Chains A and B, each alone.
Chain A
Amino acid sequence: MITQVSSSLYHQLTTVFDDGLAIKGDLEPLASLRRNAFARFQETGFPTLKDEDWKYTNLQPLLSKNYLLRDNLPGKSVSIEKAFIKGLNPYKLVLVNGHFRTDLSDVVDEQGVSIYSIEDIHQHKLSLRHFAQYADKTDNPLVALNTALHEGGLVIEIEKNITLRRSIQIIHVASSSETIFNQTRNLYLLGNNTKAEILESFITDDIGLSLNNTVSEVVLEENAHLQHYYLQTANSQSSYLNHTEIHQKKHSLYNNYNCTFPGSAFIRNNINVRLDDSAVESHLYGITLTAEDQLVDNHTIVDHRKPHCESYEWYKNITQNTSTAVFNGKIFVREDAQKTNAFQQNNNMLIGEKSTIFSKPQLEIFADDVKCSHGCTMGQFDDDALFYLRARGISEEKARVLLVHAFAFDVTEKFSSEPIREYVDHLIEEGLIIEQ
């Protein structure tokens, strides 16, 4: 079926692709991957409100703008200080509009770790074997578009039996004086018995508008452990479409901590975890604090495909002003996935009287010997609690901060890193607006 699309971005992208600019110089199999992916994208076009998965998240206003499709200014100076986390000393890897800037990045001085730009992937057999093998199996047209036209991004390969001594912080900077469309593509491969912590910070620099369509594929081989943080602190000039696809093998552990703060106007995160082997464990934690007209939409899929796996998901939304938060949590328990333990919880706190939250837990269970639970709550500031704190001499402002921290605590206490917890607590405090 061909959907009529009249967006200006769509036409721009078609023109670029037809001119062959994207695949110029690409070797096989990359050129075919791009070609096939673009055909898939063209079949559906951009998602619209008619798609169940995009019901509350209207892309159209973003698509009608005229974008600069590449803004690779190799020497552009950017400031990355706002992504720094007190008490944490990670290897910093800087991507400006998706382009890996070795001049601004630390050298990762660890054995068995290779880090390179996605443009160099054709030289790496292992990565090439995994590239576009996971996210592209979903029906998200934005993934197909990214596969077809991505420019820039990072590959991290960790060889088996390696435990990273320091964490890796990827700082994604959207920086342009123009209105820009970035399509970053990342691939993280963790070999057998590896352990790593990867933080991804999203920040903005400069004054231009940006739309960032990022796809990351994460592969955890047997007994690999990854702590994966998303720290979204970009400004209101920016919009993000992030798709993360995680593929897990036996005894692996994947923890995702997805934190979003006031700033970026429009954020859609798709986080899909495929538990594709037995004895896999996955944890998805989310804390979203929104303000002004912000829209933050978190769509997650936890896909139990094999027996004896455990997943645990806890998302908290706090909405202020006229902002909107969306949570959609799908859990699949396939026929083979007996003895699955799947837990999901979504708690919401509406602070802004005109703010909106859409929550949709969605469980599809095809196995009969499983333990699954889900829950969802909606609430506001507890006036009695507020008064109790104030009656002890605590200012209204501080009382609100305490109560929001308390609300977020179920999630923040799960953080594997103390400095990041403090950083996030601080961002919550900063992001709270007292007068609604």
Chain B
Amino acid sequence: MLSIKNLQASVDDKQILKGLNLEVKAGEVHAIMGPNGSGKSTLASVLAGRDAYEVTGGEVTLEGKDLLELSPEDRAREGLFLAFQYPIEIPGVSNINFLKTAVNEIRAYKGLAPMEAKEFLKQVKEKQKLVEFDAKLANRSLNEGFSGGEKKRNEIFQLAMLEPKLSILDETDSGLDIDALRIVANGVNHLRSKDNAFVVITHYQRLLEYIVPDFVHVLYKGRIVKSGTKELALELEEKGYDWLKESVDAEEGAAI
């Protein structure tokens, strides 16, 4: 579904991603872990198409389509979803209005008529329940005055409504207490299917106890330096990143 080959990207002329490779198939959940500054959030931003990031090499395809050529909105319409680490507050834009606009813009892209109001409300109700998202929040301004947990739940609620093929969760667990974490994870688990895929970016193994990944990758210095199954996450939790860093740094030293 998602294929990343030798991806290189920089911010302000500083190279962050230095040849990253990743293959994600439908039905899979991949976790990306790694120490601070390894490029995890850069990867999420580059995939979603944020302006400040410049792709200097490599290719990314989503179901065969060249993702890097598309505008952020077209990536979303093609089925990419980024759950933001820091969802933006937009006073004056109502949550529901925003969602309706998003749903219908995506439908228009696919050549579908706007969703009937009744059907839309039905979906809203259903998906709100899934992420235990307070109906009162749906009518408020987008994320305005929401708590950290409410914002993250809103991200998953949007994910549920937009039904993307590939979802990237960028540190969705940060700032969540254990109850909120469980709710968010439950939502994601409900939405998992054989037709979609998830890339879960996280610092901690904790989230992976709830959203069990098929693969775990370690990102360091802009590359994936180790891949494995969920046991790798446990190993990292126990040993930290230092042993991995040392071996990578040693390899680099040897190469020079």
Closest to B79 in A: A393
> Are B92 and A391 neighbours in the complex by a CB distance under 8 Å?
no
Q: Which residues of B contact A407 (CB under 8 A)?
A: 92
Residues of chain A in range 399-414 having any CB-CB distance to chain B below 8 Å: 399, 402-403, 405-410
Determine how close the nearest CB of chain B comes to the CB of A418; give it in whole angstroms: 16
Indicate if A388 sits at the interface (CB-CB under 8 A): yes
Indicate if B49 sits at the interface (CB-CB under 8 A): yes
Residues of chain A in range 375-418 having any CB-CB distance to chain B below 8 Å: 382-385, 387-396, 398-399, 402-403, 405-410
Given A383-B51, A385-B88, decide whether A390 and B93 contact each other with a Cβ distance below 8 A. Answer: no
> Are B102 and A392 neighbours in the complex by a CB distance under 8 Å?
yes
> Are B162 and A396 neighbours in the complex by a CB distance under 8 Å?
no
Indicate if B109 sits at the interface (CB-CB under 8 A): yes
Q: Which residues of A contact B63 (CB under 8 A)?
A: none
Residues of chain B in range 37-87 having any CB-CB distance to chain A below 8 Å: 48-51, 71-73, 75-77, 81-82, 84, 87
Determine how close the nearest CB of chain B comes to the CB of A356; give it in whole angstroms: 24
Chain B, residues 160-187, CB within 8 Å of chain A (1/0): the string is 0010000000000000000000000000
Contact of B72 among A384, A385, A390, A406 (CB under 8 A): A390
Give chain A's interface secondary structure class: helix
When chains A and B are docked, how far (Å) is the Cα of A394 from the Cα of B82? 14
When chains A and B are docked, how far (Å) is the Cα of A389 from the Cα of B71? 12
> Are A390 and B76 neighbours in the complex by a CB distance under 8 Å?
yes
Q: Which residues of A contact B87 (CB under 8 A)?
A: 388
Indicate if B101 sits at the interface (CB-CB under 8 A): yes
> Are B93 and A405 neighbours in the complex by a CB distance under 8 Å?
yes
Contact of B84 among A382, A383, A388, A403 (CB under 8 A): A388
Indicate if B90 sits at the interface (CB-CB under 8 A): yes
Indicate if B132 sits at the interface (CB-CB under 8 A): no
Residues of chain B in range 85-106 having any CB-CB distance to chain A below 8 Å: 87-88, 90-93, 98, 101-102, 105-106
Contact of B91 among A387, A389, A406 (CB under 8 A): A406
> Are A391 and B82 neighbours in the complex by a CB distance under 8 Å?
yes
Closest to A402 in B: B93
Given A385-B88, A396-B73, decide whether A391 and B48 contact each other with a Cβ distance below 8 A. Answer: yes
> Are A393 and B73 neighbours in the complex by a CB distance under 8 Å?
yes
> Are A403 and B90 neighbours in the complex by a CB distance under 8 Å?
yes
Contact of B73 among A384, A390, A402, A405 (CB under 8 A): A390
Given A389-B98, A393-B106, decide whether A406 and B90 contact each other with a Cβ distance below 8 A. Answer: yes
Contact of B76 among A382, A383, A392, A409 (CB under 8 A): A392
Q: Which residues of B contact A390 (CB under 8 A)?
A: 49, 71-73, 76
Determine how close the nearest CB of chain B comes to the CB of A292; give it in whole angstroms: 26
When chains A and B are docked, how far (Å) is the Cα of A46 from the Cα of B88? 49
When chains A and B are docked, how far (Å) is the Cα of A388 from the Cα of B75? 13
Residues of chain A in range 254-287 having any CB-CB distance to chain B below 8 Å: none
> Are A392 and B51 neighbours in the complex by a CB distance under 8 Å?
no
Indicate if B158 sits at the interface (CB-CB under 8 A): yes
Q: Which residues of A contact B75 (CB under 8 A)?
A: 391
Q: Which residues of B contact A (CB under 8 A)?
A: 48-51, 71-73, 75-77, 81-82, 84, 87-88, 90-93, 98, 101-102, 105-106, 109, 141, 158, 162
A-B CB contact pairs (8 Å), 26 listed: A382-B88, A383-B51, A385-B88, A387-B50, A387-B51, A387-B72, A388-B88, A389-B90, A389-B98, A391-B76, A392-B98, A393-B76, A394-B73, A394-B101, A394-B102, A395-B73, A395-B105, A398-B105, A399-B73, A402-B90, A402-B93, A405-B92, A406-B93, A408-B92, A409-B91, A410-B92
Which A-B residue pairs are the 10 nearest by beta carbons? A406-B92, A409-B92, A393-B76, A390-B72, A392-B102, A388-B88, A393-B106, A390-B73, A406-B93, A393-B77
